[in-house]
Amino acid sequence: MRSLDIQKKMLSSQWYPDVDLQTSIRVSGEDFPLSLPGFSVKLSISLPSAPVPFALDTSFDHTPQQSHGRTISTQISTPRTLDFLISPQEVALQETLLLKQKEEKEKDLAFSLTQLLEEYHWARKQIDLLRKGISLEERKYEILETEVELGKTTRIDLVKAQNDLLQQKLSELNYVLQLLMRERNMERILGITPGSLISLEAEE
């Protein structure tokens, strides 16, 4: 965007010519008092700030009954840069493309953030459900453990209940890891310090 600003300033600037007019009157002759009048005129036009610096000098010299002359000289300097080749249409097109790219990037980030939020809330709900299930499985295991001691059930049922409880805890751990990954991704998109979401939740 900075290069576009420079180009805009360059295109909006104006180049005004420097005009210099010099005249002189003289008197000449072979003996004193001098009796032959003469005059000269010099006109200089230059564009020093133009993309291609340009200067034009023209002069006219006249002395009655003796001589007169006229001189024209032109000077053109090569440009130091190619900035003059940049058109307003090109600058406007570049600006439009940059704005479009910025809008598309913002839309992509908003979509990614929305998707992550939905997945984040879904993972939180799954964790809450699993924790309730784990609580029930732990209660079931305690009951079966007592029944095994009393001989009301077999140890196979106890092992099966223990395995179900372990599976529930592994599922909970998996969802917790997914939750942490989504938190890190959201923090990256938002440009905040890793772990900030956890701090914000704790404050709430």
Tens digit of each residue's pLDDT (9 = 90 or more) over 4-57: 555 555 545 455 667 777 777 766 666 666 566 776 777 777 766 655 566 777
Q: Enter the tokens of residue 54.
A: 């340009």
Task: Output the pLDDT for position 27.
Answer: 60
Task: Say which residues have a Cβ less than 8 Å from residue 161's Cβ, sequence separation at least 6.
Answer: 137, 140, 141, 144
Task: Output the pLDDT for position 203.
Answer: 46
Q: What is the mean pLDDT of residues 85-98?
A: 77
Task: Output the pLDDT for position 181.
Answer: 86
What whole-number distance in Å separates Cα of residue 123 and Cα of residue 33?
113
Q: For the chain, what percent of residues have pLDDT higher than 90?
A: 5
- Which amino acid belongs to residue 149? E
141 pLDDT above the threshold of 80: yes
Model confidence band, residue 68 (pLDDT cutoffs 50, 70, 90): low
Task: Output the pLDDT for position 79.
Answer: 54
Q: What is the mean pLDDT of residues 50-69?
A: 64
State the DSSP string of the chain: -HHHHHHHHHHH---PPEEEEEEEEEEE-SSSSP-EEEEEEEEEEEETTSSS-EEEEEEEEEETTTEEEEEEEEEEPPPSSSGGG--HHHHHHHHHHHHHHHHHHHHHHHHHHHHHHHHHHHHHHHHHHHHHHHHHHHHHHHHHHHHHHHTSS-HHHHHHHHHHHHHHHHHHHHHHHHHHHHHHHHHHHHT--TTHHHHHHHH-
98 pLDDT above the threshold of 70: yes
72 pLDDT above the threshold of 70: no
Backbone conformation region of residue 65, classed left if phi is above 0, alpha if psi is from -120 to 50, else beta: left
Average pLDDT, the chain: 74
Q: What is the mean pLDDT of residues 121-142?
A: 89
Task: Output the pLDDT for position 204.
Answer: 46
| Neighbour-count burial for 33-72, b at 16+ CB within 10 Å, e otherwise | eeeeebebeeebebbeeebebbbeeeeebebeeeeeeeee
Residues 147-180 pLDDT 10s: 888 888 888 888 898 898 899 999 989 888 888 8
CB 201 within 8 A of CB 179: no
Task: Output the pLDDT for position 70.
Answer: 56
